Structure 1
């Protein structure tokens, strides 16, 4: 997971250029968050930021949320004596 922040408020229409990313609008910055598979995809998104004339504020890796089905169950082993 990554979060890319740009300066200003980005409309949903402009945000649709970042397919697969979740738009997180804010008053002074807009974030795009989502799964990025490799550096090629990351650089492609950063190229899109530049091509659209957006001012890049930050790029931050995010910890992926753990889904319940991905978690390891708590198992208690009992002594059979």
Structure 2
């Protein structure tokens, strides 16, 4: 039996994390299976799934540990539709 998600503690899901600068693909293992994509505007997008908010915060701590500027954290549009 599973319980409904608690407000402020969403269920597992996919996220897009945008960073200033372009990270080399060798960092992908450090980001627990997230896909790194270099954008033409000089940013990097990390795309992948996390189990819960605690895992998301852990991932964001890794970004901070690198000293990279965090631009945004978003839920991809296809994921938003699936949740509604």
**What band does the TM-score fall into relative to the shorter chain?**
0.7 to 0.9
Residue 32 of structure 2, aligned match among 19, 23, 27 = 19
Q: CA RMSD in A?
A: 1.1
Instruction: Flag as ranges the 4+ runs of structure 1 deviating above 2 A.
Output: none
For structure 1, the residue ranges without an aligned partner over 5 or more in a row are: 65-81
Q: As a proportion of its length, which structure holds more helix? A: 2
The equivalent of 1:47 in structure 2 is 61
TM-score of the superposed pair, with normalisation by structure 2: 0.70
Aligned length: 64
Task: Mark the runs of 5 or more structure 2 residues left unpaired by the alignment.
Answer: 1-13, 80-84
Taking the aligned partners of 2:28 and 2:49, their CA distance within structure 1 comes to: 16
Compute the displacement of 1:22 (Å): 1.0
Match of 1:59 in 2: 73
Greater Cα radius of gyration, structure 1 or 2: 1
